């Protein structure tokens, strides 16, 4: 009798241990994970919510129903991301169309990409003056060039734009650099220095952020040469920078939409 009682107590202990060690089922854990994803989504972090949903089929492969729910939620969230960016694209296209009115689009045999030439800085308007020119292409890549026309060589290598104590300076482009070009015609000397790959970004942003100042520019080299920036040259920089940002943002949005559509196709 005593032995039988001990056997019963042992079986009860084993049963209680087994019951206590079972814990929540995979379905219950998957539901918890889904609820966490909802909370993350409601906080505004859609991508992190999708990441959590996409992990459910790996963590809880037996929770078939909840895996299906997670797939549907991920698909819906991706679609919301795509729709939001598509709406932004529509607004951006309108902005780009409006800004493009200030430019002439051209692609010569020497150009790899279509160029946006500001209407106030075309060759016919600018061949006989010293000025800062802004250059923009279809990729949204932007740079400045300093153009000098005069009776004496400056041999300039950089520029500084300023008003009072406020100023910005470009990097130097040495005389032996192909981007530092010089030629002469009759009694006139012509110099053109191109500041590519960010070498005058600080100057571009300085001009765009201070269009209402009386901005001056000095060409720095063997000699110094000073000019007052014309309002239309300042506006050309402001409008080119705005168009550059819009073009790059459009390309980024298109890439994101393509990425989200591809990820949505491969939801497991």
Check: CB of residue 157 under 8 Å from CB of residue 147: no
Contact 104, 119 (CB under 8 A): yes
pLDDT tens digit sequence for 228-252: 999 999 999 999 999 999 999 999 9
User: Token digits for 155?
Assistant: 């041999």
Tokens representing 186?
């009759």
Q: Are 225 and 130 in contact (CB under 8 A)?
A: yes
Longest dimension (CA), the chain: 127
Please list the residues that pair with 184 across neighbouring strands: 189
d(CA 126, CA 87): 39
Give the pLDDT band of residue 3 (cuts 50, 70, 90): low
Is the distance from CB of 83 to CB of 89 less than 8 angstroms? no
pLDDT in tens, 38-91: 899 999 999 999 999 898 888 988 888 888 988 999 999 999 999 999 999 999
Q: Are 34 and 60 in contact (CB under 8 A)?
A: no
> Across-strand partners of 152?
none
Q: Of residues 227 and 15, which shows the higher confidence score?
A: 227
Q: What tokens does 159 get? A: 């520029």
Cα end-to-end distance, the chain, whole Å: 59
State the SS3 of the chain: CHHHHHHHHHHHHHHHHHHHHHCCCHHHHHHHHHHHHHHHHHCCCHHHHHHHHHCHHHHCCCCHHHHHHHHHHHHHHHHHHHHHHHHHHHHHHHHHHHHHCCEEEECCCCCCCCEEEEHHHCHHHHCCCCEEEEEEECCCCEEEEEEEEECCCCCCCEEEEEECCEEEECCCCCCCCCCEEEEEECCEEEEEEEECCCCCHHHHHHHHHCCCCCCEEEEECCCCEEEECCHHHHHHHHHHHHHHHHHHHHHHHHHHHHHHHHHHHCCC
Residue 263: pLDDT over 50: yes
Report residue 4's pLDDT band, with 50, 70 and 90 as the boundaries: low
In CATH terms, the fold of domain 2-97 is Methane Monooxygenase Hydroxylase; Chain G, domain 1 (1.20.58)
Q: Using an 8 Å Cβ cutoff, are 142 and 113 in contact?
A: no
Each residue's pLDDT tens digit, 103-160: 999 998 888 999 999 999 988 888 889 999 999 999 999 999 999 999 999 999 999 9
Q: Which of 13-17, 34-38, 160-164 has the highest mean pLDDT?
A: 160-164
- pLDDT in the model for residue 23: 67
């Amino acid at each position: 009798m005593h032995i039988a009682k001990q056997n019963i107590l042992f079986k009860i202990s084993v049963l209680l241990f087994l019951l206590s060690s079972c814990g929540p089922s995979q379905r219950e854990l998957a539901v918890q994970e889904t609820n966490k994803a909802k909370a993350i989504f409601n906080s505004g972090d859609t991508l992190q919510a999708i990441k959590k949903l996409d992990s459910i089929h790996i963590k809880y492969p037996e929770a078939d129903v909840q895996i299906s729910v997670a797939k549907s939620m991920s698909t819906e969230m991706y679609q919301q991301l795509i729709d939001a960016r598509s709406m932004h694209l529509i607004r951006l296209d309108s902005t780009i169309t409006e800004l493009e009115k200030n430019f002439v689009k051209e692609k010569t045999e020497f150009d790899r990409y279509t160029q946006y030439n500001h209407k106030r800085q075309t060759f016919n308007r600018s061949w006989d003056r010293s000025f800062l020119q802004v250059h923009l292409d279809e990729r949204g890549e932007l740079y400045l060039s300093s153009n000098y026309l005069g009776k004496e060589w400056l041999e300039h290598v950089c520029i500084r734009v300023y008003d009072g104590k406020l100023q910005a300076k470009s990097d130097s482009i040495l005389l032996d650099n192909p981007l530092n070009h010089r030629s002469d015609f009759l009694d006139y000397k012509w110099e053109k220095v191109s500041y590519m790959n960010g070498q005058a970004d600080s100057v571009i942003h300085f001009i765009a952020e201070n269009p209402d100042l009386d901005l001056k520019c000095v060409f720095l080299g063997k000699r110094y040469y000073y000019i007052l920036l014309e309002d239309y040259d300042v506006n050309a920089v402001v409008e080119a920078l705005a168009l550059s940002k819009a073009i790059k943002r459009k390309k980024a949005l298109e890439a994101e939409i393509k990425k989200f559509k591809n990820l949505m196709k491969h939801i497991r």
